[in-house]
A and B are shown apart, each in its own frame.
Chain A
């Protein structure tokens, strides 16, 4: 596969959330505002990139039988780094994302990429794959978060857009709105995919 495609496939064609249907928990939980969505996306991309690099370099030396625990340790290390960085630089983001920062460790996208891609590819494709998948995840989160923030609060990135014209539909920033918006988003992706294929 062309290296460029390794990067782009994660964005639309194999978008981790909307097409591969992975990593729902952080997707639903943190997307109350666009800023949170972006923060979560960036943190996950960092971990994904780091673990892809380390695992693609070490894959040859890790015995096959204990590979999953080894991958988990690598991922957990990067998650700890990100956790400490966020605590150091943005208390607000730390408060908003809360428990979902350490939970990046069990985000199936990351272990999935380690097992399905990074351990059998060289460094450069692994980096591109990590970046692409991370970007795809971030994009899906941002779209979901923007829709929820716009409908639930009338703003995107705290910039007022609908305030005054449409009363905020509070339910969109509450848990049911997360399920509803993501359900409709996935259905829309399936619909357009079918249309393009036909």
Chain B
């Protein structure tokens, strides 16, 4: 139980995917103009990341390791993630129209979101067991959602601020991110 809790806190706050691991910066900068869209993106990432990690984890231990072809990890994982995103999109369109309308537009963007592949590779590297890997993926994605929603909230305010011209858009986003990352560093003593 203690390990579960540690993984939860560590993956969500201490080693936040964006502020500590630098994964998924592109959607973080690209899809964070409004709180509502960034929340949608966060939910889509949570859904796909948990599913993708489960699949790549099983694939790794039931196919790649027995066949001793672990060097194929990169190729296999990215293919699984890319096809998974396609399937999720198709299924969602058929099964739940409202869910598709809410998350659908973010799905194609997720294939190239390095957080998905990054987390899938990390759980293998950290040698987690299966339940722990799922918790890690789910909480990392929640950490991503947290970061992107906080940032979108700040960015909505920035729209009306008088920013020096060269700093508008992307540069100010990074400087805001720097301050947020400093705030998140406050968590760093929590879990060793």
Chain A interface (Cβ < 8 Å from any Cβ of B): 21-22, 24-26, 28-29, 68-69, 72-73, 76-77, 79-80, 83-84, 98-99, 102-103, 105-108, 111, 171, 174-180, 182-184, 186-188, 190-191, 194
Give chain A nearest CB distance to B91 CB in angstroms.
19
Q: Once the chains bind, are B185 and A183 in contact (CB under 8 Å)?
A: no
Give chain A nearest CB distance to B114 CB in angstroms.
4
| Max chain A Cβ within 10 angstroms of own Cβ: one of B122, B172, B182 | B182
The number of chain B residues with a CB under 8 A from chain A is 42
Chain B interface (Cβ < 8 Å from any Cβ of A): 19-26, 29, 71-75, 78-79, 82-83, 112-114, 117-118, 121-122, 125, 164-167, 170-175, 177-179, 181-182, 185
CB-contact partner of A187 in B26, B75, B171, B178, under 8 A: B171
Q: Once the chains bind, are A73 and B75 in contact (CB under 8 Å)?
A: yes
Quick one: given A69-B82, A102-B117, A176-B182, are A25 and B170 in contact (CB under 8 Å)?
no
A-chain residues with CB within 8 Å of residue B29 when the two chains form the complex: 21, 24
A-chain residues with CB within 8 Å of residue B22 when the two chains form the complex: 24-26, 28-29, 175, 178
Give chain B nearest CB distance to A83 CB in angstroms.
7
How far is B179's CA from A74's CA once the two chains are assembled, in angstroms? 39
17 A-B residue pairs with CB within 8 Å: A25-B23, A25-B24, A25-B25, A29-B21, A69-B79, A73-B75, A80-B75, A102-B73, A103-B23, A106-B78, A106-B112, A106-B114, A111-B112, A175-B19, A175-B185, A179-B175, A194-B166
